[in-house]
Amino acid sequence: MNDMDRGSIVIVDDNANNLQVLSSMLQQEGYKVRPALSGEQALRAITASPPDLVLLDIRMPGMDGYETCRRLKATPATAGIPVIFISALAESEDKLAAFAIGGVDYVSKPFQAEEVLARVRAHLQLHRMQQSLEGLVEERTAALCVSVASLEESRAAYRRMLDQTIAAIAMTIEKRDPYTAGHQVRVAHLAVAMARKLGLEPERIEGLRLGATIHDIGKIYLPAEILSRPGRLSETELALVRTHAEVGLEIVRDVEFPWPIGMMIHQHHERCDGSGYPRGIVGDEILLEARILCVADVVEAMAAHRPYRAALGIDKALAEVRAGRGTLYDGPVVDACLALFEQDHYQLPPSLAG
Ligand SMILES: [Fe+2]
């Protein structure tokens, strides 16, 4: 709206003389004026082309000013147009009624030209400010929606990349060590199912899934022949194998995962009674994710084939965790694991190594 365009006004009055006086007064001030002699005529004019303001008489034959205003306010396209009543009705109930149905102001007849002009000016200005504010809010909201959407998109892309990187790291370990091929994936599968059974938050379970998928990452440091050689390992070799928890932590220590992945890796061989390694911590000192990972690891390792022995089977694996419940292994974690296999008929994903 430029300076020349001061605003358009529809004036409604059944008295042609009043209409004439008001129209010429406002036209002189530079407003675009459309007169209407009845409520019906006014509604048609306003609907066809909504003005910036309506000056509305109350007492008119046919549709009166109140009803005209009510209909304007009931239509979304015209509800926001400010309506100033101009009427000879001077009782305060009349004024209150006018405000109650949505009028913004009330001018009594006979009116003072200056008063009408001042009120018209003020309400047009207010209306414009309101509109530009609404426009600004709409604009900002739209911009915000776009940023939120792109933020969600990049978050999803970042998660995908993280997932793929973890999978690539897991594959690196398994390329060197065919006997544990799929071990980490199956442990992750079981650990996630146990965590769900235990009611962990989905976001926390996602962290556990990723941690479990690379929990043996430290084995990359071990000579491949130790990992793949059939037969029992010597004490020295066993001691070397046990360094994989420490080495695993070292490898991921500087990665800023949104989950305690390093602690999961470091603690997955700890036992609740302190008999585990590398630190021999006990009970709640061990991260819950690591306690879950530990049981999943034991069950999967016993159920699957190993270089030094054939698969012991799931029954032996479950008997082991049951026997160690509350000592080696966390009680509720063991219960979740047993319930999965014995009640929910959970099955580990197929092992490639047979
Ligand atoms: Fe391990």
- The mean pLDDT values, 10 residues at a time, for the chain of 354 residues are 73 94 94 96 96 95 95 94 90 88 91 91 92 91 93 93 89 74 88 98 96 92 79 88 95 93 98 97 97 97 76 90 97 98 93 52
The alpha carbon of 113 and the centre of ligand 1 are apart by a number of angstroms equal to 91
**Locate tokens 């109650």: which residue?**
100
Please give the structure tokens belonging to residue 79: 């509800």
The alpha carbon of 112 and the centre of ligand 1 are apart by a number of angstroms equal to 92
Element (DSSP H or E) covering residue 11: strand 8-12
**Locate tokens 């997932």: which residue?**
163
Indicate whether 87 belongs to any domain. yes
The alpha carbon of 344 and the centre of ligand 1 are apart by a number of angstroms equal to 26
Please give the structure tokens belonging to residue 135: 């426009």
**Locate tokens 């021999």: which residue?**
280
Output the CA–CA distances (angstroms, integers) from residue 93 to 83, 96, 102, 119, 265, in the order listed: 18, 5, 14, 21, 78
The alpha carbon of 345 and the centre of ligand 1 are apart by a number of angstroms equal to 26
Element (DSSP H or E) covering residue 85: strand 83-87
Instruction: Evaluate whether 313 touches 321 at the Cβ level (below 8 Å).
Output: no
Same domain, 201 and 132: no
The alpha carbon of 182 and the centre of ligand 1 are apart by a number of angstroms equal to 13
The alpha carbon of 49 and the centre of ligand 1 are apart by a number of angstroms equal to 76
The alpha carbon of 11 and the centre of ligand 1 are apart by a number of angstroms equal to 85
Ranges of H-type helices in 229-287 = 235-241, 244-252, 261-267
**pLDDT recorded at residue 352:** 55
The alpha carbon of 305 and the centre of ligand 1 are apart by a number of angstroms equal to 15
Same domain, 228 and 324: yes
The alpha carbon of 178 and the centre of ligand 1 are apart by a number of angstroms equal to 15
The alpha carbon of 237 and the centre of ligand 1 are apart by a number of angstroms equal to 14
**pLDDT recorded at residue 178:** 66
The alpha carbon of 289 and the centre of ligand 1 are apart by a number of angstroms equal to 14
Indicate whether 145 belongs to any domain. no
The alpha carbon of 21 and the centre of ligand 1 are apart by a number of angstroms equal to 95
pTM for the model stands at 0.65
The alpha carbon of 85 and the centre of ligand 1 are apart by a number of angstroms equal to 83
Number of neighbouring beta carbons within 10 Å of residue 182: 20
Indicate whether 120 belongs to any domain. yes
Q: Which residues of 213-231 are buried (b: 16+ CB within 10 A; e: fewer)?
A: bbbbbbbbebeeebbeeee
**Which residues fall within 8 angstroms of residue 141, CB to CB, at 6 or more apart?**
none
Final residue before a domain boundary, out of 140, 162, 197: 140
The alpha carbon of 354 and the centre of ligand 1 are apart by a number of angstroms equal to 19
The alpha carbon of 158 and the centre of ligand 1 are apart by a number of angstroms equal to 28
Give the total residue count for the chain.
354
The alpha carbon of 202 and the centre of ligand 1 are apart by a number of angstroms equal to 24
**pLDDT recorded at residue 354:** 39
3-state secondary structure at position 229: coil
- The strand pairing partners of 329, in sequence order, are 325
For residue 196, what are the domain limits?
177-342
Please give the structure tokens belonging to residue 313: 């089977």
Indicate whether 113 belongs to any domain. yes
Instruction: Evaluate whether 106 touches 95 at the Cβ level (below 8 Å).
Output: yes
Same domain, 116 and 200: no
Number of neighbouring beta carbons within 10 Å of residue 45: 17
**pLDDT recorded at residue 353:** 45
Ranges of H-type helices in the chain = 16-28, 39-48, 65-74, 92-100, 113-176, 183-197, 202-213, 224-228, 235-241, 244-252, 261-267, 288-303, 314-323, 331-342
The alpha carbon of 244 and the centre of ligand 1 are apart by a number of angstroms equal to 7
Residue 278, domain CATH? 1.10.3210.10
The alpha carbon of 334 and the centre of ligand 1 are apart by a number of angstroms equal to 18
Indicate whether 98 belongs to any domain. yes
Final residue before a domain boundary, out of 113, 140, 167: 140
Distance CA(180)–CA(173), nearest Å, equals 9
Final residue before a domain boundary, out of 140, 164, 197: 140
Q: Which residues of 2-20 are buried (b: 16+ CB within 10 A; e: fewer)?
A: eeeebbbbbbbbbeeebbe
Same domain, 191 and 330: yes
The alpha carbon of 222 and the centre of ligand 1 are apart by a number of angstroms equal to 12
Indicate whether 163 belongs to any domain. no
